[in-house]
Structure 1
Amino acid sequence: MTTAAFPNLFRPLQLRAVRLKNRIMSTGHDTILPTDGLVNDALIAYHEARARGGVGLIVSQVAGVHETARYTSHMLMATDDRCIEGYRKLADACHSHGSIVFSQLFHPGREIMEGADGLLTPAYAPSVSPNERFRVMPRQLDLRMIDEIVAGYANAARRMHQAGLDGVEFVASHGYLPAQFFNPRVNRRTDNYGGPLENRLRFAVEALMAMRSATSEDFVIGMRISGSERDEQGLTSDEALESCRQLEPYLDYVSVTAGTSASLGGAVHIVPPMAYRSAYLASDGSRFRRALNIPVFLAGRINQPHEAEAVLAQGAADVCGMTRALICDPEMPVKASEGRSDDIRACIACNQACIGHFHRGVPISCIQHPETGRELKFGTLTLAARPKKIMVVGGGPAGMKAAATAAVRGHQVTLYEASTQLGGQAQLAQLLPRRAEFGGIITNLSRELELAQVRVVKGVRVDYALVNAEKPDAVIVATGARPYLPEIPCDGSVQIVEAWQVLKKQVKTGSRVVVADWRCDWIGPGVAEMLVNDGCSVELAVNGTHPGELLPLYVRDNIASELHKSGIRVTPYARLFGSDDGAVYMQHSVSAQPIIFENIDTLVLCLGHEPEDELSAMLDSMAEVHMIGDCLAPRTAEEAVYEGLKIGVAL
């Protein structure tokens, strides 16, 4: 084992009686894996995969400390002793691989997302200060309930201690209840819990002291806080830092992040998309680390080992949160420690299957590593009972994943790609503004092909004759899709092109452009922004309620921010009809009234895709033919890679 390239990253850290073997942390994050509010086998398998992969510290997702803490209907709860058994199994599983385990202890205050059975849940906060994002008007906590919640923190900490966890994390980040007490614009109380900073910190002091009394001197107690909530009404950097200074005697570490759940703009920083540079919170970490005498943990798009090493080397943190990096590649730490950095599957911060799944209420996964969240089903690949000769047609994400998976299982696999480059539509996706990292999926899957020793043939279009000559045992058709181009009434006065032509720079659009966006994903807004950057005047017409309607929330909101800053006018509910006499005609999809864009040079079509499935029809007489990805039905890279995994496992 070699750690020479990362001397800081693989240096142990002592916290009370606990020794972290390295400085890599999986921060607390929701997974939607638990059932009935309890740790289950799926959650244990999820965390154990990361422990097996070498992570130093696992901080398990939030556990509610009081019945009023249920900010979603699918969260873990630590409000009675039934939780202890599951946490004990989790701790034992992770400890067996040398990883340390903490649990977040949590109360959201006014940050209530949804309740059980679709009913609105009463929210409680220091004061009647409304939440902008979820439109929640909370009830002010009375003294009795404050005492109950403080006791809830203590009892939850005791249960984690009894379960054999190594510590707990007091969640004061992202505008949750402790931060609501800290914030003088949210906490407008006039009793001993409001007013001067000492009073506003009283709730946290009482909770932290109660947690210590309920556990032991060896038990680690830390706090997570947003170094700045990045919102006009949020906790400022100065306020957050002074709160940490005052609470330092009660803490073993501070874990710094950014943003707040209370506003759309602040919430983007909870899981920042690829539009944000790697390790963009390093300056926040440095400021806190200089001011405090306890270790500072830092998260915020620290994506690869060399980035984490740089953060540690410059003194910006003592431990690096690398959660999405570990979601994408659970073996990242051991690969880095063994000098196999080129084998690491780097996260591209698309947010689609990690936080995107959370916001849809479905279990966590990763578009590049669909085994994530499905460890019980796909955690271990077994060799095929009878190796087959397999022909994979199409070198996009679906075909690449299918080929790599099948080859790992012992099959003889050849991948054919008609063009000279692998990657399919990901080659185009990376051309859009702030989406260059999407090309990482090509790099990562290409490396999987290399490691699996898949034979790759480029520049060859497969037809029936080639398949017949090769005589494979099975054919996997992953030929992708092409732009959907419906018949549009027009007189030729407006140039009509499709998004792929714009991305490939195959057309000149003229100065006034309308982008017709049926899909409501990232393509339409990205093309619109690209054209504005080229000097065009652009209108974006979306056949939905808003741009990016299908995207993960934080990606959508970042796109909305950029569209607004670019001055791109957005027209929602716009169904394309046709064009003539220099105008583009649309119909309001609800009122059926006309929408007219006049004096237009070019109409750019972002109307979705249709399957490239001609080959599958030719092969209909063959014994074993499988269709995956967009040639089966045009969707996203997530479905393509998942279907590649599934067929690779099934053959």
Structure 2
Amino acid sequence: MTLFPHLFSPLRIGGMEVRNRILSTGHDTVMAHDGHVTDRLIAYQEARAKGGAGLIVVQVSGVHETARYTSHVLMATSDDAIPGYRALADAVHRHGARICGQLFHPGREIMETQDGTAPVAYAPSAVPNSRFHVMPVPLSLGMIGEIVSGYGDAAARLMQAGFDGCEIVASHGYLPAQFLNPNVNRREDLYGGSLENRLRFLREIAAGIRAKTSGDFVVGLRITGEEHDSQTIETGDVLTFCKMLDGDGVIDYFNVVAGTSASLKGAIHIVPPMFFAHAYSAPFSAALKQLVDKPVFVAGRINQPQTAEQVLASGQADMCGMTRAMICDPEMPAKAAKGLVDDIRACIACNQACIGHFHKGYPISCIQHPETGRELTLGIKTPTDRPKRIIVAGGGPAGMKAAAVLAARGHEVTLHEAQAQLGGQARLAQLLPGRAEFGGIITNLAREMELAGVAVKRNAPVTRALVEAQGATVVVIATGGKPHRPVIEGGEGTHVVDVWQVLAGQANVGANVLIADWRGDWVGLGLAEKLARDGCTVTLCVEGLFAGETIHGYVRDTMVGNLHRLGVKIEPYARLYGSDGTTIYMEHCASGEPILFEGIDTLVLSQGHDRVADLEAELEGFAGEVHVIGDALTPRTAEEAVLEGLKVGRAI
């Protein structure tokens, strides 16, 4: 008997039955090419179907030439797209999952163009957006008709390719939502003004799709319940719109999300980072369920089957979007169905390699599971035919991943950690405000090692003598890094500490603190928040364009918002130069002029890391193999550490 009876009960949606209530929501993968489905995208989605997902909604497909919001968007505007869609549908159906495709027009929410020039965007009215700084062209009645027809034609192509249905994207401030929003839609014709007029565009889309597809072809609607923005659609109006559409009898399900692409504040909720509560959009889906007869889905920080089961059992929704949960562990549904909850690699909502890769224009992946998105190149781990005795030095993310993969392939692996606990820098990262979930990477990788049969020795640093005594023929060095201490001019009488000392409780911090942040990541931001919440007056000096420059925008913007509320002063373009007692000297990165800060009790260094390479030097001339990975190779992030652990684990 399953631990999750609601999650693993079937669901009838229009003309299709889905085997369980686990949904992979539509999300861009950056795996399309020239508007078409690729083998890489097929392999990616097939992994989710094979892993047990009930319904897979494929990323957005443009319905009109003006819908190209990125240079790598799928397009359903031509019959040339049908063979690729058919291959994708076949791959998903082969494993018992159902598949729908998102139909999309961004309106004014265009991120980039094909050639890097500024876009010509179209919207209901000439109202610019805040995030991408796009001034749109008001849509003519003729173009509205073209776009409406494009939705129906695109749906017909998906049906011809074997898809079970389609999903109209009216969420996140995209074109249908722009018509619904009176702050964006200022038209005075039949498409503006009253609720009925603002809903007209969406109603015509739904009716057009239904007219061009069969009765058992599912037509769903993705809608934002709460945009979390000042220029928003009222929540009550969203409920009314959905009730009106439900009454039309054309929409087969409602898929509830949060946020809007139109502003930094609202965009955070498109892929909410770990600072937000699990399933925090479920209250809106619960309210919607009271008003409509069709199934209601919900997504947003539902990363564990326990959470999904609770949402379903309480009647807040009929299906749960668990997209990042399956990016992190494509086999999550199958493991949950078998009750193997401890084996599930839980998403920590770091946003680094999933949505973070997308916004950089790279195929998405996961820092904990680099195999995601690389199914065709790194997804297969061939058992070794020549087992070796291997020592892995270092129990941080790089070492744990390498050890797990090596042991799973049949090698005899012992991991040595010099400290009493595994995790490396992740143990410190989880101590920052709102970052406790980051510690999940330690739990998950430790479980991978346990399942693979890795022998783990704590308080056991590796030396050459130990390697030779153990008869190891391979050493993987993953000894990590240590705080970088730059040369500071002067320094007489200045209280200087580093981030590690503060987080470990090894330093007393004065009332007036300056953080010198070289990397511009979540460390400086997180420490500033921690110290401000502890009652300190904090100045964050960033050697870059802005705070959090190197991390994903949704994480950065959440953290910067927190600092603004706490009164933390942020000084960009500030390079640490020197100090004299309570005076800290910075150099402006662009002008070269000095920036002085006086009355500083404590200078906290967040200056990156130096690699710990002692063992590499000690093993020079060693007869066996030596591999150096992670920060021991050169300091970067957990993403590179785990990826290199996977690669070396496959290579030996």
Deviates more, 1:105-114 or 1:9-18: 9-18
SS of alignment partner, residue 291 of structure 1: coil
Q: Aligned with 2:226: secondary structure?
A: coil
Partner Cα distance (1:239, 1:62) in 2? 25
- Determine which of 127, 130, 133 is the counterpart of 1:129: 127
> What's the CA shift for 1:51?
0.5
Unaligned runs of 5+ in 1: none
The answer on 1:190 being equivalent to 2:188 is yes
**Separation of aligned partners in 1, 2:371 and 2:238:** 38
- Show structure 1 runs of 4+ deviating over 3 A: none
**What residue in structure 2 maps to residue 208 of structure 1?**
206
Distance 1:204 1:284 in 2: 21
- Structure 1 distance, partners of 2:508, 2:175, is 53
Whether 2:541 is the aligned partner of 1:541: answer yes
**What's 2:439 paired with?**
439
What TM-score do the two structures reach when normalised by structure 2? 0.99
Q: 2:40 matched to which residue of 1?
A: 42
- Match of 2:67? 69
Distance in 2 between residues matched to 1:177 and 1:561, nearest whole Å = 27
Q: Which residue of 1 aligns with 2:386?
A: 386
Report how far residue 471 of structure 1 moved: 2.2
Distance 2:489 2:591 in 1: 21
Q: 1:111 aligns with which of 99, 109, 119?
A: 109
Rounded Cα–Cα distance in structure 1 between residues aligned with 2:554 and 2:115 = 26
Q: Deviations over 1:404-440 (max 9, x none)?
A: 0011111111100000100000000000000000000
The alpha-carbon deviation at position 608 of structure 1 amounts to 0.3
Alignment of 1:83-98 (within 5 A): 83-98=81-96
Q: CA deviation at 1:598?
A: 0.4
SS at 1:103 equivalent: strand
CA distance in 1, matches of 2:91, 2:619: 48
**Distance in 1 between residues matched to 2:632 and 2:381, nearest whole Å:** 26
Q: Show structure 2 runs of 5+ residues with no match.
A: none
- Larger CA deviation: 231-240 vs 484-493: 484-493
Structural mapping, 1:523-534, within 5 Å = 523-534=523-534
The corresponding residue for 2:100 is 102
* Range with greater deviation from structure 2 (243-252 or 596-605): 243-252
Instruction: Check if 1:592 corresponds to 2:592.
Output: yes
CA distance in 2, matches of 1:186, 1:34: 31
Q: Distance in 1 between matches of 2:621 and 2:75?
A: 55
Per-residue deviation, 1:628: 0.3
> 2:620 aligns to what?
620
Partner of 2:639: 638
Instruction: Please show how residues 406-485 of structure 1 align to structure 2 within 5 Å.
Output: 406-485=406-485
The Cα of 1:490 is off from its aligned counterpart by: 2.9
Give the drift of 1:58. Answer: 0.2
Contact kept? 2:491, 2:578, Cα under 8 Å:
no
Output the aligned Cα RMSD: 0.8
Alignment check: 8 A CA contact 1:110 1:138 kept: yes
Percent identity, aligned pairs only, is: 60
Equivalent positions of 1:58-457 (< 5 A) are: 58-248=56-246, 249=248, 250-457=250-457
**Which residue is equivalent to 2:8?**
10
Deviations 1:114-141 (A, max 9, x none): 1011111200000101111000000000
Question: Which range moves more in the overlay, 436-445 or 458-467?
Answer: 458-467
Distance in 1 (CA, whole Å) between partners of 2:491 and 2:356 is 42
Give the Å deviation of 1:385: 2.4
Q: What is the CA deviation profile of residues 517-545 of structure 1, one whole-angstrom value per residue up to 9, with x for unaligned ones? A: 00100111111111111111111101111
SS of 1:275's equivalent in the other structure is coil
Q: CA deviation at 1:16?
A: 2.1
Amino acid at match of 1:388: K
| Deviation (angstroms), 1:282 | 1.4
Deviation at residue 56 of structure 1 after TM alignment: 0.2
Q: SS of the residue aligned with 2:377?
A: helix
Give the Cα separation in 2 of the matches to 1:96 and 1:491.
67
8 Å CA contact 1:230, 1:236 repeated in 2: no
Secondary structure, counterpart of 1:634 in structure 2: coil
Q: Matched residue of 2:60: which SS?
A: strand
Determine if contact 2:543/2:574 at 8 Å carries over to the other structure: yes
Tell me the secondary structure at the aligned position of residue 211 of structure 2.
helix
* Greater mean alpha carbon deviation, residues 56-65 or residues 249-258: 249-258
Deviations 1:130-157 (A, max 9, x none): 1110000000000111111011101100
Offset of 1:185 from its aligned partner? 1.3
TM-score (structure 1 length as normaliser): 0.99
Alignment-mate amino acid for residue 216 of structure 1: S
User: Could you say what secondary structure the match of 2:423 adopts?
Assistant: coil
